[in-house]
Amino acid sequence: MAVGIGIVGAGTVGGTLVRRLIDEHDALEAKTGLDLEVRRVAVNDVAKERPFTVPDGVLTGRALDLADDPSVDLVVEVMGGTGVAAEVVMGALRAGKPVVTANKELVAARGPELFDAAAASGVSLLFEAAVGGGIPIIRPLWETLAGEQVRRILGIVNGTTNYILTRMSEDGASYADALAAAQRLGYAEPDPSADVSGADATSKAAILAGLAFGTWIETAAVHREGIEGIARADVAFAAELGYVVKLLAVAERTGGGVSARVHPALVPLHHPLAGIRGATNAVFVEGPSVGELLFAGPGAGAGPTATAVLGDVVDAARELLAGAQVAPRIRLAAASGVADFGAIPTKWYVRLEVADRPGVLAAVAAAFGDHGVSIKSVRQEGRGDRATLLVVTHRAAEADQQAAVAAIGNLDVVAEVGAALRVESDEP
Ligand code: NDP
Ligand code: HSE
């Protein structure tokens, strides 16, 4: 029996998905036993050229009709956003149709509500492509690692920003040129500010934290800093100090609750995440029993993302044929509390532009000391009227680090705090 698929969105991901469902139909059937038939493809502009050909009547501008369309058995949402996409997903779930989505923004923003709607209808909501593109990470976290008390996740979960930082660090590319290339390669979100501001990674961090800890953290409660302010100078200084700059999504259990944050960070060159280059993503999971796990692979782009979506489509189709929900229900604990970000211990790299004269270093060190922040290393670059101090601190409460840097910025001898970035290493 054929399974009728309705797809909303035929851009970077959806266009490739539809083409592959058509071109690879027989190979998919041979491998899975499923006859997957594209019955509707909803887009914004039906006149636009597409990388596939479908029979008349398949292409439609009416996305919201798919929920009640009797020819559609399961719905795939690859348009993005939290407006029409939310209506599409919610409508399909309420109509009792399994839904596959790549939309991390939607899952992060409305996860609990969507999981409840799926559970009420007894159908699956599958979103393997929402985090890490082609990397299998949703199922491993929720299913395979169900028995692990995950302690911390460090993720490079945005391909666009990792691509930009890699180009800046390895080729000395400018931020603007690297971003334009990421857009050309199909890595960037429809609005690339979602990538560079860290918003995309924030959604993914919230999803990872939700799956790892069973507590859904609202995206607004995820501390977020993007890579817009990263200077080539700091990428180069970081390398001299033995680090590489990455945009990290961090989800962890702390004494004060669970926490998720997204910010650029210096990662030691020996850490497994340091070697994750270009649009590659990686999720580094730490647990008391399993130790350390690294999931890595292509985190963005049409091909890898469509593969993840196809895997979910196959699962959803199996569910329909078996008549039983395939994905285990996502159960969320009552919020066990989101940790106070200011109390989380962090380490910092601080670049200071200072006057090069006696007493400067003492004043800087005293300001750190006054806030209970101990210095790990100081390096001076340049001499003369102006010098650059590169300070790396030991771990201290985030709020104390911030207060120390603010105080240092007010010192007469400090012309500028050029950069203040966190260092993510296991050293104290
Ligand atoms: P694109 O902008 O390339 O495609 C969006 C598609 O949605 C277009 O086909 C567009 O139609 C369609 N669309 C827009 N509005 C409507 C509407 N009202 N009704 C029906 N269709 C509509 O986005 P991507 O393919 O890059 O991303 C899609 C989703 O996948 C997003 O949620 C994104 O976050 C996620 N994702 C993307 C990855 C990537 O590497 N690109 C990786 C992982 C996830 P039209 O073509 O007519 O303009
Ligand atoms: N824009 C996203 C990225 C797509 O660059 O990682 C994958 O979610």
Q: What is the CB-side half-sphere exposure of residue 326 using CA atoms within 13 A?
A: 19
Q: Is the CB of 189 under 6 A from ligand 1?
A: yes
pTM: 0.95
**Does residue 344 contact residue 254 with C-beta atoms inside 8 Å?**
yes
Q: For residue 188, report the distance from its CA to the centre of ligand 1, in Å.
A: 11
Q: Is the CB of 10 under 6 A from ligand 1?
A: yes
Domains, the chain, in order of start with CATH, read: 2-133+302-334 (3.40.50.720), 147-297 (3.30.360.10), 341-423 (3.30.70.260)
Indicate the pairing of strand 345-355 with strand 74-77.
unpaired
Assigned token pair, 261: 């944050």
Q: Is the CB of 8 under 6 A from ligand 1?
A: yes
Q: How far apart are CA 243 and CA 284, in angstroms?
A: 17
Please write down the long-range contacts of 170-175, taking CB distance under 8 Å and 24 or more positions apart.
Answer: 170/277, 172/232, 174/232, 175/227, 175/228, 175/230, 175/232
For the stretch 64-112, pLDDT in tens is 999 999 999 999 999 999 999 999 999 999 999 999 999 999 999 999 9
Q: Is the CB of 13 under 6 A from ligand 1?
A: yes
For the stretch 252-303, pLDDT in tens is 998 888 999 999 999 999 999 999 999 999 999 999 999 999 999 999 899 9
Q: For residue 301, report the distance from its CA to the centre of ligand 2, in Å.
A: 7
Ligand nearest to the CA of 192: 2
Catalytic residue among 31, 48, 104, 204: 204
Mean pLDDT over 338-348 rounds to 91
pLDDT band at 239 (very low <50, low <70, confident <90, very high): very high
Of 16, 149, 111, 132, residue with least CA distance to 331: 111
**Does residue 356 contact residue 395 with C-beta atoms inside 8 Å?**
no
Ligand nearest to the CA of 201: 2
Q: Is the CB of 267 under 6 A from ligand 1?
A: no
Q: Please choose from 101, 106, 131, 158 the residue to mutate so as to test ligand 2's pocket, defined by most ligand atoms within 8 A of CB.
A: 158
Indicate the pairing of strand 59-60 with strand 345-355.
unpaired
pLDDT of residue 338: 80
Q: pLDDT at residue 402 above 80?
A: yes
Q: Is the CB of 164 under 6 A from ligand 1?
A: no
Q: For residue 373, report the distance from its CA to the centre of ligand 1, in Å.
A: 46
Residue for token digits 């532009």? 353
Q: Is the CB of 79 under 6 A from ligand 1?
A: yes
Q: How far apart are CA 259 and CA 209, in angstroms?
A: 8
Distances (CA, A) of 289 to 96, 149, 150, 151, 285: 39, 8, 9, 10, 11
pLDDT band at 420 (very low <50, low <70, confident <90, very high): very high
Quick one: which H or E segment has residue 294?
A: strand 291-298
Is 204 marked active-site?
yes
Q: For residue 15, report the distance from its CA to the centre of ligand 1, in Å.
A: 9
For the stretch 121-174, pLDDT in tens is 999 999 999 999 999 999 999 999 999 999 999 999 999 999 999 999 999 888
Query: What SS3 class is residue 273?
Result: helix
